[in-house]
Chain A
């Protein structure tokens, strides 16, 4: 038996915990560079603000009423970790599915609904994040129950056959977990538009027409669990760090510094997972929303001589890529990024007669990481990243809230 715990309008709720003035007001959180709405409070939804809607497309009379915040992922990450810690306390097996969603294994829990109500209340009380819990015999059903719980009492258990039948009867197939808009359109053509119809569809027909993933969804809707709880995230195949710039950047040095910063960050992430990379990709892109400007979208994939997690070797490789006229003069670049692929754990690799399996100074990197963990990200770094506080390529974050929970200098105020 599974439960899905999902924070309501998670990013907007995080902002509200520390800013009482935002309560009962329409709150919108914008993506990096203050582009699109990525979270909306219920009040903002009621005003008609759509998910992923660019903020400049929101009519001015509505925009005036909105309380807008730039994405503060430091804050959201910390709040998410708190919620997960509470869930891990309550249930023995937890899968962190996304920043605001976790699956729980409820095997052995006797009074599931009472348990869920108590847990929901506890998460809300302890962290200030309102949430909903859906319960079902498969992950797909738990997810569906969660969606319905949002509109109802906050907790819904569809393990009972009658409750389940009612829940599936008019649940649109497009809203199901694992059904994208394209599948939904094709299913509707075949006369399958509700979850109940998909549950009753012929397994073989779905398998033949849509493949094993959707066939599994059919089984899951029938109450048979096919997708197991994934407690440990499988090793990544690829690590990507990319950003849109706050403005178009022509200066090659600035872009090189941006790329070096991303490479440094990607290497940190990779070391955090205990991996090494055998290949690195570099890309940059001009403003595709302004086709009248000169366009250039260079990308380059380089094999590293030996797998490594050493930032210095990655920066040297990056330097070589940039030296070979990677960027063009007179182009305003809007986005750039680094990706590391062909990732492996060092002990899975084999050296040969002439060289060890991996290269790089692991001790030095471990020291740099330890310094940054202790004194804050970016305290120890590499000259190639540039050291400007507000680099030309920096993100636009005009309404960024403080890091209330992770920075002593930015703690919320309490009036005495």
Chain B
């Protein structure tokens, strides 16, 4: 590890969630040049750790589940058809959060949560889609959508179809 600048020592660590077991890592090297001959790479001393997308997107691995988004009602919230939704069941959803809602034995639906005085509404982020108003007393389970993952696809893609 390279020595940290002084101002970093002064910052306080704020725990983001319950301590947990690390998820399996997918490591992507971000830097690092190997010099075969001549000078030793001047970058070597500054070699950092690797970026881990799991670490970035998944805060609580045992409580995190992935869902495949289908439909266009959330495009203005940045959720497209075919995206992977990252749902963290340990996060309590609040008013205005993007949530996954289970009600009436339907397939789960991804919407923006609107908590009103006596009922709950599920709002779309696309003017062509109507909002859903759940009558009071509806049994509904809500989970926070904490991230979205998307792989860019070429028109005649060579990208793995699975993702």
**Is A125 positioned at the interface, with any CB of B under 8 Å from its CB?**
yes
Judging by beta carbons under 8 Å apart, are B89 and A416 in contact? Answer: no
User: Given A85-B61, A408-B163, do A128 and B89 touch, yes or no (CB 8 Å)?
Assistant: yes
Residue from A20, A23, A122 whose CB has the most chain B CB atoms within 10 Å: A20
Binary contact readout A402-416 vs B (1 if CB under 8 angstroms, 0 otherwise): 001100110111111
B128 contact set on A, CB distance < 8 A: none
- Within residues 37 to 89 of chain A, which ones have a CB less than 8 A from any CB in chain B? 81-83, 85-86, 88-89
Residue of A nearest to B82 (CB): A416
Given contacts A89-B21, A416-B74, A416-B79, contact A127 B63 (CB under 8 A): yes
Min CB gap B77→A, angstroms: 9
Residues of A within 8 Å of B4, CB to CB, are none
| Pairs A–B under 8 Å by Cβ, sample size 25 | A23-B105, A82-B62, A82-B63, A83-B62, A85-B21, A86-B63, A89-B18, A89-B20, A125-B89, A126-B89, A126-B90, A127-B63, A127-B89, A405-B65, A411-B66, A412-B65, A412-B68, A413-B107, A414-B67, A414-B85, A414-B100, A415-B71, A415-B107, A416-B72, A416-B109
Task: Tell me if A20 and B70 are in contact (CB < 8 A).
Answer: no
Q: A126 to B79, Cβ gap below 8 A?
A: no
Task: Report Cα–Cα, A21/B84, bound state, in Å.
Answer: 22
Instruction: Name the one of A23, A128, A413 contacting B68, with C-beta atoms under 8 angstroms.
Output: A413
Do residues A21 and B108 form an inter-chain contact, with CB atoms below 8 A? no
Residue interface bits A378-416, CB-to-B below 8 A is 1, else 0: 000000000000000000000000001100110111111
Q: How many residues of B contact A (CB 8 A)?
A: 35
Partner of B84, one of A85, A88, A126, A411: A411
Quick check: is B81 within 8 A (CB to CB) of the other chain? Answer: yes
Q: Which 6 pairs, one residue from A and one from B, show the smallest C-beta to C-beta distance?
A: A416-B71, A126-B63, A82-B62, A414-B67, A85-B62, A411-B68
Closest Cβ neighbor of A23 among chain B residues: B105
Known: A409-B162, A413-B67, A414-B69. A85 touches B89 (CB 8 A): no
